Structure 1
Amino acid sequence: MKKLLLILVGCTLIIALAACGSKTETGADGEKQKVIGVTMNNLSTEFTATLAKGIEEAAKAKNVKVIVNDGEGNPNKQIQQVETFIAQKVDAIIIQPLETEASSPAIEKAKKAGIPILNVNSITTAEPDAFVGSRDEESAELAIDYIAKMTGDKGNIVMMHGRPGQSAEIKRTTGAMDQLKKYPDMKLIAEQTAEWDRNKALNLMQNWLQAHKGQISAVFAQNDEMGMGALKAIEDAGLKKDIIVVSVDAISDALQSVKDGKLDATVFQNAKGQGAGAIDTALKIIAKESVEKEVFIPFELVTKENVDQYVTK
């Protein structure tokens, strides 16, 4: 009896290992599915979770299997996940890089292994096979132009940066600084990172309100999480009528805040569009079709006047 049990356990292990080593599964039509490994930079943020959902929905529509992993804000973890995808012999890899430099080895490892890899939403110094995302400079340009419109092209601005070294932070900073040159009477009087975090932004805004009493005309937060944190600090201080707040991403509670007349504006970044574009591009690369090296999806300014059309997107 004991011998029979050992044989059964052994067979079960062999079957399980065979299943783990298979890179494709048979779809409903009898054809083998393509398998794409996906590593997201941090699924705890609403934007990244929406981006991942866009990838999963597009993959399901194309009968593609995706393995979605969470990098949990750690570029080394993303590199390890890419190494696992390589070992699993997936057909392609999609990465939302956490940092331009620290995430670059993941690109290099995939290319060395001969597996197509593309970046979605963020860039790396190492060059992938393709990039699908948006021009982050554009989001900052739209935000600064709207602030200028609301303040009459003058006043003092503070800017909350995202995580240093991440491409969105770098490019949104560049876009904002370049755009501010067009408005000589608008002055940037303070800038600091709040690392995309709502609570850190709330604390930072409280400090700025104390350090620059009565001097701040507007806040540009490089994402909505920080924008909502800044807004809370401003509301708590009873200063909302005096300070314009604009941020980026158009996450659900930011859209509701715009609708309620609290957040002045957000800039819509089409997470689901980026996700669908990443799947389409990956499949073209797998099929050895020609693809654009860079696929850009435009940002869109969202204010109280047009917010209703974005609430259900």
Structure 2
Amino acid sequence: MKQIASPPLVILFSIILLLTSCNQTSTSEKNQAEGGKKLIVGVTMLSMQNEFIVNVHDEMVKKAQEADIDLITVDAERSALKQVEQVESFIAQKVDAIIMNPCEVEASSPAVTKALSAKIPIINVNSETTIKPSAFVGSDDVESARIAMKFIAEKLGGKGNVVMMNGYMGQAAQIKREQGAREILKQYPNLKLIANQTAEWDRAKAMSLMENWIQSFGPKINAVFAHNDEMGLGAVKALTDAGLKNKVIVVSIDAIPDALQAVKKGTLDATVFQNAEQQGAKAIETAIKAAKGQPYDKETLIPFQLVTKENLSKFLK
């Protein structure tokens, strides 16, 4: 009988190696199926030209890296229409969660509806929409304006003329900060709002607007309330150039580094601290929990704080 030759040892070793490799591949695939893949979160921000918004986003990036998740960030450039399209793109990419910093209360709302319909959790950060998202992380903008206007009222002894610089019209922060300011004005009948106009959160536009108001009202202006620091600093520059800053109180919101330095110099009388780091961090934390199907807070409100020369050291880094 003819004997069958045994396979060479090298062939046996190759077969064992191949079987081991197949087993490892199937284990890897199993781990991925069980949740081993990285979470992907789509982020659409109102405007990456706004320092406070950039600060919020920087903290998101930091926390995403710590949690080992991937962020896809896009800039809506203040366009609610573009923002809705960006969310549609995230849905098409099948991201695990979406974080939106809404451009407008009404016009950005369809983005929330679309995400929820696609069963993708969507978290609004810093600003709100009419349609309720999966969760909101931010601060009470009405309260921020109450704090600012109360400071102005006390500094003026409840009597004087105020001008107010609004943020981008139709955005939640603009609506609520105007509401909060008007609530305080009602409590002081001798405090008059003589001008109220948008400078769209922008320093250069605020400077131009303040120059126009100086021409129209001159020394009649006793105080400026700006809905954010960028506009407040623009107002300070115009008033300084006109030689009027020492006679006019200027208060704004956010406590960005430039504003804190202005408070230190005495050119900005006060700012209202809004915690960008906590907003960014909590938004990421909430998005991760929602994506994993874990319990999460539907609303996270981070308090505002008045910043003046007296307590400035607590906020300077």
TM-score relative to the length of structure 2: 0.87
Q: What's the % identity of the aligned pairs?
A: 56
Give the match's secondary structure for 2:221.
coil
Residue 120 in 1 paired to residue 121 in 2? no
Structure 2 residue 60 is matched with structure 1 residue 55: yes
The 5 Å alignment of 1:5-154 reads 31-154=36-159
Work out which of the residue numbers 263, 266, 269 in structure 2 matches 1:261. 266
CA contact (8 A) 2:219 2:244 kept: no
Residue of structure 1 equivalent to 2:21:
none
Specify which of 214, 218, 227 is matched with residue 219 of structure 2.
214
Indicate which of 216, 228, 251 corresponds to 2:256: 251
Among 230, 233, 236, the residue aligned to 2:235: 230
1:75 touches 1:98 (CA, 8 Å); kept in 2?
yes
Separation in 1, partners of 2:294, 2:220: 55
Say if 2:84 and 2:110, in contact at 8 Å, map to a contact too. yes
In 1: Cα distance, 2:316 partner to 2:81 partner: 35
Partners of 1:71 and 1:77 within 8 A in 2: yes
Deviating above 3 A after TM superposition, structure 1's stretches of 4 or more consecutive aligned residues are none
User: Per-residue CA shift, 1:59-90, capped at 9, x if unaligned?
Assistant: 12222211111111111221121111111111
What amino acid does structure 2 have at the position aligned with 1:275?
Answer: G
The answer (yes or no) to whether the contact 1:259–1:308 under 8 Å persists in 2 is no
Name the SS for the 1:181 alignment partner: helix
Residues 161 and 192 in structure 1, CA contact (< 8 A), matched pair in contact too = yes
1:154 Cα shift?
Answer: 1.4
Q: CA deviation at 1:32?
A: 2.1
Q: Could you say which residue in structure 2 is the equivalent of 1:6?
A: none
Question: Once the 2 structures are TM-superposed, how far is the Cα of residue 308 of structure 1 from its aligned partner?
Answer: 2.2
1:255 & 1:300 partners in 2: Cα distance?
A: 13
Q: What is the alpha-carbon distance in structure 1 between the residues aligned to residue 215 and residue 81 of structure 2?
A: 38
- Residue 116 of structure 1 deviates from its aligned partner by 0.6
Q: Secondary structure at the match of 1:262?
A: coil
- Is 1:277 matched up with 2:282? yes
Q: Deviations over 1:27-72 (max 9, x none)?
A: 9xx9322111111010011011101011111112222211111111
- Structure 2 residue identity aligned to 1:226: M
Q: 1:195-240 CA deviation, whole Å, 9 max, x = no partner? A: 1111111111111112112211100000111101111111011111
Residue 183 of structure 1 deviates from its aligned partner by 1.6
Give the Cα–Cα distance (whole angstroms) in 2 for the partners of residues 180 and 271 of structure 1. Answer: 28
CA distance in 2, matches of 1:124, 1:91: 21
CA contact (8 A) 1:100 1:125 kept: yes
Task: Tell me how large the CA RMSD over aligned residues is.
Answer: 1.5
Distance in 2, matches of 1:34 and 1:213, equals: 56
Provide the secondary structure at the position in 1 that maps to 2:152.
helix
- Residue 288 of structure 1: how far off its partner (Å): 2.3
Q: Where does the alignment leave 5 or more consecutive residues of structure 2 unmatched?
A: 1-30
- What does the per-residue CA deviation read over 1:263-300, in whole Å, with 9 as the maximum and x for residues that have no partner? 00111111111011111111222232333321100111
Secondary structure at 1:168's aligned position in 2? helix
Provide the C-alpha distance between the structure 1 equivalents of 2:219 and 2:244, rounded to a whole number of angstroms.
9
Aligned residue among 154, 159, 163 for 2:168: 163
Q: Distance in 1 between matches of 2:203 and 2:53?
A: 15
More moved, 161-170 vs 72-81: 72-81
Spell out, residue by residue over 1:110-130, the C-alpha distance to the aligned partner (whole angstroms, 9 max, x if none).
111111111000111111111
